[in-house]
């Protein structure tokens, strides 16, 4: 593990510049299976680094609950979140690859940026089928820990939630559509523009990622807050419908209520997530390329 970690560290600092230009001809296109592995590993890296703690803060701020000072409470549901990266990434990658391939076969040309944006959005929305329960379970664990001081296993939480684990899927779908579109297309376009002005460097990668992440966070924050309110009320005791949650929130706090947790929780999480995912995918891709028998 130490040798692998050292290799990741060296690759992350060596792929830019002239060395990157020398290796470019030798890089091969990842297969769908390899792309899924890379995306899953990158997602797990983001969760393990900053994602889980900032998710916890975002959830607590949206629910107006105090954040626990116990570090173990911050990581409630981490294994569920990390394991969900594989099916979520698979849905998103397969949707994008097959969608773009269908357009290539139909029109005999490369899909336009707009078409790629639409396909990325659709694949992101489709991943809500898996993402919704995988977000509901950790949130349920966190809320139960806060209110009842009970420690449940993820399986026990899922059994208690039953069908309510998919509550809020109509909010998760458009939120994920926006997020995947920003991460999958907008971030790349912004990076290209930044590199044209300043040249390729780690700074342009971080800048484009953070800027894109902030935009995605602001646009999708109202959906995220309403989703948290619904999932924290799985038995529909306070908010039977989305409109009930939205009207109650607006009546109590106005438009500002829809952006709870943006500055301290979800905003920093998404802003960090985009560059972390981009750099992680690059590093894991380099590792696969280096060890692949087809690479030279």
Distance (Å, whole) CA 226 – CA 223: 5
What tens digit of pLDDT does each residue of 163-187 get? 999 999 999 999 999 888 877 667 7
Structural domain includes residue 267: yes
What tens digit of pLDDT does each residue of 207-252 get? 777 777 788 888 899 999 999 999 999 999 999 999 999 999 999 9
For 7, the token pair is 């290799």
For residue 266, what is the domain's CATH number?
A: 1.50.40.10
The DSSP letter of residue 141 is: H
Structural domain includes residue 89: yes
Specify the higher pLDDT residue, 100 or 148.
100
Structural domain includes residue 102: yes
Q: What is the number of structural domains in the chain?
A: 1
Structural domain includes residue 14: no
Structural domain includes residue 113: yes
Structural domain includes residue 153: yes
Distance (Å, whole) CA 207 – CA 233: 37
Neighbours of 174 (CB within 10 A): 16
Structural domain includes residue 214: yes
Specify the higher pLDDT residue, 56 or 264.
56
Contacts of 71 (CB under 8 A, 6+ apart): none
Contacts of 125 (CB under 8 A, 6+ apart): 173, 174, 176, 177
What tens digit of pLDDT does each residue of 24-58 get? 334 457 888 888 999 899 999 999 998 999 999 99
For 178, the token pair is 């926006």
For residue 200, the enclosing domain spans 31-290
Structural domain includes residue 43: yes
């Amino acid at each position: 593990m130490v040798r692998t970690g050292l290799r990741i560290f060296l690759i992350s600092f060596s792929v830019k510049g002239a060395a990157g230009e020398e290796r470019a001809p030798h890089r091969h296109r990842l297969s769908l299976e390899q792309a899924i592995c890379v995306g899953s590993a990158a997602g797990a890296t983001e969760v393990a680094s900053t994602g889980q703690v900032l998710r916890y803060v975002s959830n607590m701020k949206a629910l107006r609950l105090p954040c626990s000072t116990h570090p173990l409470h911050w990581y409630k549901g981490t294994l569920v979140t990390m394991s969900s990266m594989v099916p979520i990434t698979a849905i998103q990658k397969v949707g994008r690859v097959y969608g773009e391939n269908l357009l290539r076969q139909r029109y005999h040309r490369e899909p336009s940026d707009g078409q790629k944006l639409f396909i990325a959005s659709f694949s992101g929305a489709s991943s809500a089928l898996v993402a919704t329960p995988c977000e509901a379970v950790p949130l349920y664990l966190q809320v139960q820990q806060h209110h009842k001081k009970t420690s449940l296993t993820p399986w026990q939480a899922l059994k208690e939630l039953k069908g309510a684990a998919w509550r809020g899927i109509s909010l998760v779908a458009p939120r994920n559509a926006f997020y995947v579109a920003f991460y999958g297309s907008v971030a790349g376009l912004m990076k290209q523009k930044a590199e044209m002005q300043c040249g390729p460097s780690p700074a342009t990668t971080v800048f484009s990622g953070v800027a894109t992440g902030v935009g995605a966070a602001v646009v999708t924050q109202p959906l995220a807050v309403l989703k948290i309110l619904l999932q924290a009320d799985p038995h529909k005791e306070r908010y039977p419908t989305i409109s009930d949650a939205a009207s109650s929130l607006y009546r109590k706090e106005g438009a500002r209520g829809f952006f709870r947790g943006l500055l301290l929780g979800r905003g920093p999480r998404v802003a960090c997530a985009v560059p972390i995912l981009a750099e992680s995918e690059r590093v894991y891709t380099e590792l696969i390329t280096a060890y692949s028998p087809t690479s030279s």
